[in-house]
Structures are given as C-alpha cells and as structure tokens.
Structure 1
C-alpha cells in the first residue's frame, strides 16, 4: 500500500460533496441533490462522522460512522458506510480506514466497533474478518415505507 495515503476528516459542505463519487457506488439510491443536506443533518444531530482518503485531487475512499449506545452492545462506534473507488480497491484502503475507526473507538473509550454488511458481499466480509471483526448477529429489517 502507498504510505502517502492519509486520512482526513470530512466536515464542510464542499468536502461532503467531494465524497459523492465514492458514496454513490455504495448507496446508489441516494439523491445527489440532497446528499449534502442529509449528511450535514446527520453530522449535526446524530453524531455522524466521515473520515476519507484524498488522492489525486479527490476522495477515493471513506468511512462514515457514528457514536451509539445500546443495551446489547454498550458504548460503541457503528460503521455505517465504508467504500473505495473501484480503481483504488485492492490497495489496502479499506483496512486502513478500519484500523483508523478502531483507533478512534479506543481513543474514545468505546466498547466495540460494529457494522452490517449484505449477505452477498463476500469481498467486504473477507476484509472485515481479516481486520478482527467476527460474525456476531443477524440484522433484520422490516421496510415500512408505502
């Protein structure tokens, strides 16, 4: 992996917009026109953070996460989003971001880092397992939108 890659926090509307190319790969259902407002609200009201890897004038990978507390898991970081541009995959950027989020958790006295992944996303699952995650639960969802 290129040691020149570094992680920087994403905070401003301009930086949030620069992440669109990456997030649209992971979340194609999102609307580019409302992306900045949605993330800004999440940052303001839900303790959502984005830390990204910037290269060649653009964000090429990022992790979106939040602080949470549940009776089941305790005080932890929930990793909502982790994605890398296709041309940067296989370079260790996801592992770099996972190590970063785990370090944030340790620094902030969290009990764990948790995430969900699609059953069919075997590539991501291999990365998570390689980075110390284990299968701990099955996430169930009931879509109530009409």
Structure 2
C-alpha cells in the first residue's frame, strides 16, 4: 500500500460526499440526505472550509473549520470537525491537518485556532495537547430539540 498522503481543499460534490463516510466516525447522527446541503450552506454563509487528506484518490481524513471573530478570542479559526477513518488512525494524519490549519491561521494573521472536544474523548485530547492546544474554557449548550 502506498503511504503517500495529500492535503487539499475539498470543493467538488463528489469529494464532499466522500467526507460523509469519514464524518460518521465522529458524528454518527448525521443524515446523508442533508449532508451536501448542510455543507453548501456552511460554506456559503459561515466561511466553512473542508480540507481533506487524500490517499489513493480517497478521502481518509478531513478537517472542517470556519474563520470568525469573537469578542473572547479575536480573529480565529474555529475547528468544527476533525475526523479520520478508523483504519487510518495512528498515522499522524490528524496532526498533519492541525498543522495545516495552524499554518493557514498564521498566514492570515489570526489570533488563535480554537476547537471543542468531548470530555471523554481522551484520544483526541491527547492529539490536541501534543499539537500545542490547551484548555481555556468549558463549552456549554442547551438542547432545543
């Protein structure tokens, strides 16, 4: 098996559909019939970007992020999603995606890269800590549905 990986922006409908399988690893509640429309809306209204790791023309990991301004953190890149297919975990792909996002943030002169993670997602937390992230807040929300 070829161990060559390429990171590039995901823009085509085919690539966006490929991301759905990867997203299910982290977000099993997602609905395939709404996936493309949701991504299109996020891209158009929320400055959402998808960057994928391609291996043999297949997307095996991706990061989804938004550029935004907050009173708390200033001009930031907020990472919504970082997902890797189970078979490709442990190969440093998450770290490569985080490094790529950090490089984008530095190039755009952003103040920070911010993300949320589940309290019990210790594997992801280890990845984030190893890539320079630290705890700075607790994310709270009230379910409406």
TM-score, normalized by length of structure 1? 0.95
Q: Which residue of 1 aligns with 2:99?
A: 99
Runs of 4+ in 1 over 4 A off after TM superposition: none
Contact preservation (8 Å) 1:13, 1:40: no
Contact preservation (8 Å) 2:3, 2:55: no
CA distance in 2, matches of 1:3, 1:98: 19
CA distance in 2, matches of 1:5, 1:14: 18
Give the alignment's Cα RMSD to 1 decimal.
1.1
Q: Which residue of 1 aligns with 2:36?
A: 36
Q: Which residue of 2 aligns with 1:115?
A: 115
Q: Which residue of 2 aligns with 1:90?
A: 90
Could you give the per-residue CA deviations for residues 32-76 of structure 1, whole angstroms, max 9, x where no partner exists?
Answer: 011011101100111000000011231000000000111000000
Could you give the per-residue CA deviations for residues 102-125 of structure 1, whole angstroms, max 9, x where no partner exists?
Answer: 000001110000000000000000
- Give the drift of 1:3: 6.9
TM-score, normalized by length of structure 2? 0.96
Q: How many residues align?
A: 144
Uncovered stretches (5+) of structure 2, i.e. residues with no partner? none
Uncovered stretches (5+) of structure 1, i.e. residues with no partner? none
CA distance in 2, matches of 1:19, 1:3: 20
Q: How does 1:1-146 map to 2 (within 5 A)?
A: 4-145=4-145
